[in-house]
Chain A
Amino acid sequence: MLQAIVDAFALLFSLDSEVLKLIGTSFSVSVRSAAIAALIGFPCGIWFGLSEFRGRAAVDVILNTLLFLPTVVVGHIVYMMLTRDAPLGDYRLLFTRTAIVIGQVILATPIVLTMVSNSVRLADPRIVSTALSLGAGRLRAYLALLGEIRGLVLLSVLAAFGRVISEVGVSMMVGGNIYGKTRTITTGIALLTSQGEFARATALGMVLLILVFAINLAVYFATHRARS
């Protein structure tokens, strides 16, 4: 186990070009997916959190169910959407990073949406009205609301990112595990494991863990320094 961690650091710092390609692909895809999920999830989450309508509970249940989407199912659905004969087939998006992003956005957005909307409902309802009465525009008022629940908002983005950086189902099905283009850290691990290369697979897995740990550490310092 310790050897695996040592191997992982060695792998990370050796700047092995194959490993760098995997890291680059994973991050290039997952950061985009989390960012788009946030872009969709923030406004929709705020709107949904503030809204009151008859079918709201039903929508809640549906959204929560989307949190449980198996990645291979999403991968299959996106494959069906992007295959040649499908309406979107002409864009030749299958087996590209964009295809993976599409699938990952489907996985990530419900996470941001549900967390933001739930946080909004728990937040002080007077924030928006207070901001408006102080002369802020609607956008500023909602940003103030986001700011108030910022801890949970940040967490929702991290959770969404975590969900997509670690998934294999979508990446494999619509990405095709193409070396240098759509092979991510996780699909790379799957391939290495299938080839019996357990040591390298473990090292690669550790690399991913080290990277996400570093990200979370950075986020911690970014958020906590602001307070003091």
Chain B
Amino acid sequence: MKTNPILTGLLALLTALYGAACAAPHPQRTESTETGQSQRAETVTIRLATTTSVDNSGLLGHLLPRFTEETGIGVDVIAVGTGRALELARAGNVDIILVHDPEAEEKFVSEGYGAERRYVARNEFVIVGPESDPAEVHAMNSAQEAFSNIMGAQARFISRGDNSGTHMRELSIWNSMGVTPQGEWYVEAGQGMGAVLTMADEMRAYTLTDTGTFYAMADNLDLVVLFSSDPILDNIYSIILLNPVIRPNLKHAEAMKLADWITGPEAIEMINGFEVNGHRLFRVE
């Protein structure tokens, strides 16, 4: 039978494309050892679930390559909201997590999923909004007053709405006042911090954000910081080692190395020195 030129051509094209695609880095083949894409000799890779705020700030991109260089352990970062990060950890789909919701974290540990919690760094939440500040947030003396004003003025406010650390903090402020925000002015976005900031920018709305994400994105935004420095807005990031009894098949030894490193002197110096657009995004205290 004569070879069909079209089918041959198509086969050749597909093969060429696939060949070209294969030139791109190929991750894990076997279950236990996974080689990463970098030039460093990576022998093992662990999975870290973290929050979009940490990821958006660029801190991990700054820290992790150094960790990999020194230990040969690669870190795959999966950035989702704190709620989803905890769910991934409970389900055993990641080896370690870095989150910022102390209440949920304590529950996570007491439920037995978390073996150990370690403090990594802090920054704060701030209320940002349009320069015009229709709700006069900048003149307020507490976060509660600011929120109260926004609600009173029915000024548009974008909520994370995704069970993230930021969302939980926002809700705790509303709860402490005994109110439930609802109405046209209260927008539940259900997205990460970066997306919510973009939305707030577009809609000239208020939102609660961590300083890390905000300053990393400040160039692209017209929003300004209107309220800060209330103890209720402290933002603490912790790394949590998972329970090897419940999930014995995770890479606990390597995860421990990361937890040790990220709370060690070199990382502390790097975190304190991490600046974006002239702002120090995290402090270790």
B-binding residues in A (CB < 8 A): 20-21, 23-25, 27-28, 31-32, 35, 83-85, 89-92, 94-97, 136, 140, 143-144, 146-147, 150, 154, 157, 176-182, 193-198, 215, 218-219, 222-223, 226
Contact = CB atoms under 8 A, between A and B. Distances in A.
B10 A197 contact: no
Contact of A150 (B4, B24, B197): B4
A136 B1 CA distance: 9
B28 interface: yes
B47 A222 contact: no
B194 interface: yes
A31 B14 contact: yes
Contacts of B52: 194
Contacts of B36: 180-181
Given A178-B78, A194-B195, A154 B10 contact: yes
A196 B17 contact: no
A181 B13 CA distance: 24
28 contacts: A20-B24, A25-B24, A28-B18, A31-B14, A32-B18, A35-B18, A83-B93, A85-B92, A92-B31, A96-B28, A147-B4, A147-B7, A150-B4, A177-B78, A178-B77, A180-B38, A181-B36, A194-B191, A194-B194, A194-B198, A196-B198, A196-B201, A198-B220, A219-B10, A222-B12, A222-B13, A223-B9, A223-B10
B192 interface: yes
A177 B56 CA distance: 13
Given A177-B78, A226-B6, 11 more contacts: A21-B37, A28-B22, A28-B24, A31-B21, A84-B93, A94-B93, A147-B4, A147-B7, A180-B36, A194-B192, A195-B216
Contacts of B38: 180
B194 to A, nearest CB: 4
A41 to B, nearest CB: 14
Nearest to A226: B5
A178 B247 CA distance: 23
Contacts of A95: 47, 76, 78, 93
Contacts of A91: 31
Interface of B: 1, 4-7, 9-10, 12-14, 17-18, 20-28, 31, 36-38, 47, 52, 56, 76-79, 91-93, 191-192, 194-195, 197-198, 201, 216-217, 220-221, 247, 249
Secondary structure at the A interface, as helix, strand, loop or mixed, is: helix
Identify the interface centre among A28, A96, A97, A157: most chain B CB within 10 Å of its CB: A28
A28 B24 CA distance: 7
Contacts, number: 122
B277 to A, nearest CB: 13
A20 to B, nearest CB: 7
B221 A223 contact: no
Nearest to A96: B28
A35 B12 CA distance: 13
Contacts of A195: 56, 194, 198, 216-217, 220
Contacts of A182: 27
A95 B85 CA distance: 13
Contact of B25 (A89, A92, A180): A180
A157 to B, nearest CB: 8
A215 B12 CA distance: 12
B13 A219 contact: yes
B14 A24 contact: no
A193 to B, nearest CB: 7
B13 A27 contact: no
B7 A150 contact: yes
Contact of B24 (A27, A85, A178, A219): A27
Contacts of A150: 4, 6-7
Given A181-B37, A193-B195, A222-B9, A215 B91 contact: no
Given A20-B24, A194-B192, A84 B9 contact: no
Contacts of A94: 93
A83 B194 CA distance: 27
B247 A84 contact: yes
Given A28-B26, A95-B78, A223 B18 contact: no
Nearest to A83: B91
